[in-house]
C-alpha cells in the first residue's frame, strides 16, 4: 500500500512537527523526541486546572489537534495505535500542571489506563494534584466489561475545557467529566479496514459488506452486515445506540473515521437528521474528522444529552481549527427560484409525423446506451450512453406536452428539457444547439439552416471544431447534406465518426486529457452517437 510517508519509524514525529510548524507559535513540543512526544500550549500559565489527554497516534486530529484555548492543555502521543509511555505521560503532566491540579482524560484501553494511571501516581508522589477520568463510550460490544473509549471522549474534552477556562476547580471538573462519561454512547461502522503505515492492509471486510462496531485501532467489530445505502447504515447505527439513551433530546457527534469523502459525510449527516432518531437530535457536532482510525472508510455516531451548562460549553467557540463547532439542526430552508430562471412553458401542439420522428430518435439513443458507454470507457468515464439515454427518456416522458407543430417552439422546448435533465458539458452544449436553432427557425428558415445555425453557436461557445475529436466531426458533415436526404446525412455522419478513430490528439472534451495510445483506433463516442442516430433513422 503506497502512502505519503518517509519511514514508519519517523511518521509520528514528522507529522507532529508538520502540525506545529503551522501553529503560529500557539503550540510547542517538549524537547524530548523521539521517546517522549508531548505537545503543549505555549500560552499556558498553570493558573487553571490543566487538561491532559492522549494515546496512540493514528487518530488525528485527536489528540494534538485539540490542544488549545478552551480545550486541552497538552496531548501525549504514542506511536501508531500504541499507548504513550509512563515517562511521556508524566512529562506532560509536569509540563502543564500548577497548584490547581490536572485532569487526565483517558480512553478505556488497557495500555492507556495503566500508563496514564501509573504516571498519575508518580505525579501525586511528587506533590501534584491529579485526577483521572476513564471514558468507555463504545456500546458495540454489550458483554464487554470494559467498554472501549472512542469519539465520545471529545464531548468531555470540550465541556471540561470550557469549565477549566472559566476557573472551575479540579474536583468539580473531574466529577462532571465522570458524570458525562457515564452517559455518552458511541458506535461506528466501516466499509473497509485501515492501513497501518509500513504494513500490508488487512482485507477483512467482504465485498458488499460493512462492519458494525469495529474499534478505532482497527479491531474487528461485533458483526459484518450487508451494506446497501447510507440511510440504512445510519438507521442500523442509531438502532444500536437508542437503548443506551433516554427519551430526552440528544446532541450527536458525527465523526469521519478517516477515509470517507466530505460528500459521503454530508449524505450521512442528512441521513442521521432524517433517521427515526432524527427528531430527538437538537444539535450536531460535525460532520468532520475528529477521532479517526488512519484511513478507515467509516463513520461513528456519539450521542449525549447535555444539561444547560453542558450545552453552553459545547456551543462556546474555541480558536481550534480541528474542532468543527456546534450546529443547530434545522429544516432545510427553501428559497424561491428567481423569476428570470423559470423555464418558459410553451403550449403543446400535435404533429404525428414529428412525434414519430422524435420517438424513433429517442428510442434509438436508449437502445445504444451500453454500446456507447463501452466506447466512452476507452477515453472517458464511460457514461456517454447513459447521459444520452437519460435525455432521451426525459424527452419521451414529455413528448405529449411538446409544441410539435412549430419547429421554433419545439427546439426551444427540447433545449429547456435537456438543460434540466442532461448532465455534464454535453447537456449544456446540445441545449445551446437547440436554443440557437430555435432562434433561427423563428425567423422562417428551414430545418437544415436552423440546425446549422445551432451547430455554429455550439462551436462558438464550446470552442471545438471539425478535427478536434468530438460529435462535431459527425454532426457538421451530416447537416451540410441534410437537404439531400437522410441517406446522404447518414453516410456523411458515419464517415465523420470513423475519421475520429485516427485522431489521437483530442483538442476538446474529456478526451483531451487522455493519452494518445488510449484514443487510437476508437471512434469518439459523441460522434459515434450522431452516426448511429442517422443510420437508425435510415433503417427504420
Catalytic residues: 217
Q: Is the dihedral of CA 326, 330, 336, 337 positive or negative?
A: positive
What is the pairing mode between strands 74-80 and 37-41?
antiparallel
CA distance 482 to 479: 5
Nearest to 191 by CA among 266, 298, 85, 284: 298
Q: Would you state the cell numbers that stand for residue 198, as one nine-digit string?
A: 509500513
> How many residues appear in the chain?
540
Say how far residue 253 (Cα) sits from the centre of its chain: 16
Classified as helix, coil or strand, 53 is strand
Q: Where are the beta strands (DSSP E) in 17-73?
A: 27-29, 37-41, 50-57
Q: Could you tell me which residues come within 8 angstroms of residue 496 by beta carbon, excluding any fewer than 6 positions away?
A: 466, 473, 474, 475, 476, 477, 478, 527, 530, 531
HSE (CB half, 13 Å, CA atoms) of 119?
29
Cα dist from 67 to 132, 155, 521, whole Å: 18, 14, 58
- The phi, psi pair for 426, rounded to 5°, reads -65, -40
* 27-29 β-sheet, strand order: 27-29, 37-41, 74-80, 50-57, 102-107, 130-135
CA distance 533 to 358: 11
Q: Would you state the cell numbers that stand for residue 253, as one nine-digit string?
A: 457527534
Q: Would you state the cell numbers that stand for residue 246, as one nine-digit string?
A: 433516554
HSE (CB half, 13 Å, CA atoms) of 414?
28
Task: Give the N- to C-terminal CA distance of the chain in Å, as an integer.
Answer: 54
DSSP state of 512: G
Per-residue 3-state assignment (H helix, E strand, C coil) for 286-310: EEECCCCCCCECEEEEEEECCCHHH
Q: Could you tell me which residues come within 8 angstroms of residue 220 by beta carbon, excluding any fewer than 6 positions away?
A: 204, 211, 214
Angle of the 424-441 helix axis to the 447-462 helix axis, nearest 10: 140
Q: Is the dihedral of CA 25, 30, 33, 38 positive or negative?
A: negative
Amino acid at each position: 500500500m503506497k502512502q505519503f510517508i518517509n519511514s514508519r519509524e519517523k511518521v509520528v514525529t514528522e507529522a507532529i512537527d508538520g502540525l506545529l510548524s503551522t501553529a503560529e507559535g500557539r503550540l510547542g513540543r517538549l524537547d524530548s523526541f523521539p521517546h517522549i512526544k508531548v505537545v503543549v500550549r505555549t500560552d499556558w500559565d498553570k493558573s487553571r486546572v490543566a487538561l491532559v489527554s492522549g494515546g496512540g497516534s493514528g487518530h488525528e486530529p485527536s489528540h494534538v489537534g485539540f490542544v488549545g484555548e478552551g480545550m486541552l492543555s497538552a496531548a501525549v502521543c504514542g506511536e501508531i495505535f500504541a499507548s504513550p509511555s509512563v515517562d511521556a505521560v508524566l512529562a506532560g503532566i509536569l509540563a502543564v500542571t500548577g497548584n490547581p491540579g490536572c485532569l487526565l482524560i483517558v480512553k478505556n484501553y488497557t495500555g492507556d489506563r495503566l500508563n496514564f494511571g501509573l504516571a498519575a501516581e508518580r505525579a501525586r508522589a511528587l506533590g501534584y494534584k491529579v485526577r483521572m477520568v476513564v471514558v468507555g463510550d463504545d456500546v458495540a460490544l454489550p458483554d464487554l466489561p470494559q467498554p472501549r473509549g472512542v469519539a465520545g471522549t471529545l464531548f468531555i474534552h470540550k465541556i471540561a475545557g470550557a469549565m477549566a477556562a472559566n476557573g472551575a476547580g479540579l474536583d468539580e471538573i473531574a466529577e462532571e467529566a465522570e458524570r458525562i462519561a457515564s452517559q455518552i454512547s458511541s458506535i461506528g461502522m466501516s466499509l473497509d479496514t485501515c492501513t497501518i503505515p509500513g504494513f500490508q492492509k488487512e482485507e477483512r471486510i467482504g465485498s458488499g459488506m460493512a462492519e458494525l462496531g469495529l474499534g478505532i485501532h482497527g479491531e474487528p467489530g461485533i458483526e459484518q452486515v450487508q451494506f446497501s445505502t447510507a440511510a440504512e447504515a445510519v438507521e442500523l447505527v442509531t438502532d444500536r445506540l437508542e437503548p443506551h439513551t433516554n427519551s430526552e433530546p440528544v446532541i450527536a457527534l458525527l465523526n469521519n473515521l478517516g477515509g470517507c469523502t466530505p460528500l459521503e459525510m454530508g449524505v450521512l449527516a442528512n441521513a442521521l437528521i432524517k433517521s427515526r432518531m432524527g427528531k430527538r437530535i437538537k444539535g450536531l457536532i460535525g460532520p468532520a474528522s475528529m477521532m479517526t482510525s488512519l484511513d478507515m472508510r467509516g463513520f461513528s455516531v456519539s450521542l449525549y444529552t447535555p444539561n444547560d451548562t453542558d450545552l453552553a460549553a459545547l456551543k462556546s467557540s474555541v480558536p481550534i481549527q480541528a474542532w468543527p463547532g456546534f450546529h443547530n439542526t434545522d429544516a432545510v430552508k427553501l428559497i424561491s427560484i428567481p423569476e428570470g430562471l423559470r423555464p418558459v412553458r410553451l403550449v403543446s401542439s400535435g404533429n404525428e409525423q414529428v412525434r414519430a420522428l422524435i420517438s424513433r430518435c429517442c428510442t434509438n439513443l436508449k437502445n445504444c446506451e451500453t454500446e456507447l458507454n463501452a466506447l466512452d470507457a476507452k477515453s472517458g468515464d464511460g457514461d456517454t450512453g447513459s447521459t444520452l439515454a437519460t435525455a432521451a427518456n426525459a424527452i419521451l416522458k414529455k413528448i405529449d406536452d411538446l409544441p410539435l407543430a412549430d419547429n421554433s417552439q419545439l427546439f426551444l422546448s427540447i433545449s429547456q428539457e435537456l438543460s434540466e435533465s442532461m448532465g455534464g458539458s454535453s447537456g449544456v452544449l446540445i441545449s445551446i444547439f437547440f436554443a440557437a436553432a430555435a432562434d433561427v427557425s423563428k425567423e422562417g428558415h428551414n430545418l437544415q439552416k436552423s440546425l446549422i445555425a445551432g451547430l455554429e453557436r455550439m462551436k462558438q461557445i464550446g470552442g471545438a471544431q471539425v478535427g478536434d475529436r468530438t460529435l462535431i466531426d459527425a454532426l457538421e458533415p451530416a447537416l451540410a447534406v441534410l437537404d439531400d436526404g437522410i441517406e446522404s446525412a447518414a453516410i456523411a455522419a458515419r464517415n465523420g465518426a470513423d475519421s475520429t478513430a485516427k485522431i489521437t490528439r483530442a483538442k476538446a472534451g474529456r478526451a483531451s486529457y487522455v493519452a494518445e495510445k488510449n484514443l487510437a483506433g476508437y471512434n469518439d463516442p459523441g460522434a459515434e452517437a450522431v452516426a448511429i442516430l442517422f443510420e437508425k433513422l435510415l433503417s427504420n
